[in-house]
Structure 1
């Protein structure tokens, strides 16, 4: 049985929260958006976004993904230099590499999901896809309404411009790589 953490708000362990906030403010202003408009587009509270920008709030992974999607940017545009581990409600990720390939940016992560946990993630901007290769455990992932399973040595990919989920099934931690492909708008 999966213990769900999909509604949880576990803080992201992002080093340099003030720097992340400053980058969010700079990117928001570059796009000509008010704080209220970005909060609306990202479906996050204005107070949450204000705290993020001022560096007084340690953002969740879901909040960072929502803000990045609202700005039509990859997550790493908000994080700057390679961060340490970033945690969602269940997913722990460590950025390994960013590849800029003309009209597309790729982010490669090492991902771990503790046994029995699940997480729902917000939609990315249009055209974003995710690709997971499982090394250990059984991963259930993909769109919330049509998730798929993958075990060791298997690969699964999905359109990530819809809400999607990650879950570790069968009583074992999932260890996988996650490649996120962001086309430039």
Structure 2
């Protein structure tokens, strides 16, 4: 998996800026609501900062959009097929958006996920009604609601409502490799970036 490119950071910044402006929010107001520093948000919008998963989720929660509204699906190169998608990193999680499916008001995002051991990542609440589905290929994951996390061994899967803060951790000393599906329903049909 390749690291975030300058073009990727610039595109994410452009999308954040557009969504913020569409909602009539100042940079300061969005930064305050999302709990991120104004300089961090400014750098993200300018494309000079690599976005983290935590920062992007904090921002998308305040903009009431799924994470996929800021990311792009894995691109396709006619000569090489699907190009590896950009990877966003967090405290414990590295995620790559593979595909986004929009069906009316429902957006389904498919991610390749890696959870690194020795860390816990807390994800802020997603929009009301969001549900996550995790399938673990290797390792053992501890995920889900903070007050009742779910342990998923290799070969297992589970789901949880993610419109509340939730966690991701590797339960043992090895990396967890998994697929994550997130389903959101919005009051109006979502826009494609």
1:149 aligns with 2:151: yes
Aligned length: 173
Of 65, 70, 80, the residue aligned with 1:78 is 70
Matches within 5 A, 1:82-93: 82=74, 83-93=85-95
2:16 is equivalent to residue 14 of structure 1:
no
TM-score (normalizing by structure 1): 0.87
Alignment equivalent of 1:25, drawn from 12, 17, 20? 17
Q: Distance in 2 between matches of 1:37 and 1:125?
A: 19
Which sections of structure 1, spanning at least 5 residues, go unmatched? Answer: 1-12
Cα gap change, 1:81/1:111 in structure 2, threshold over 3 Å: closer, same or farther?
A: closer
Tell me: higher relative CO, structure 1 or 2? Use CA pairs within 8 A at least 6 residues apart: 1
Aligned to 1:5: none
Q: Give the distance between the partners of 2:41 and 2:111, measured in 1 at CA.
A: 25
TM-score by length of 2: 0.83
Pair 1:81–1:108, CA change in 2 (3 A): closer
Correspondence for 2:107 among 98, 105, 108:
105
Query: Unpaired runs of 5+ in structure 2?
Result: 75-84, 188-193
Q: CA deviation at 1:81?
A: 4.8
Gap change, CA 1:81 and 1:141, over 3 Å in 2: closer
Task: Give SS of 1:179's match.
Answer: strand
- Give the equivalent residue in structure 2 for 1:140: 142
The answer to whether the 8 Å contact 1:143/1:164 transfers is yes
Q: SS state of the match for residue 70, structure 2?
A: helix
Question: What's the RMSD between the two structures over aligned residues?
Answer: 1.5
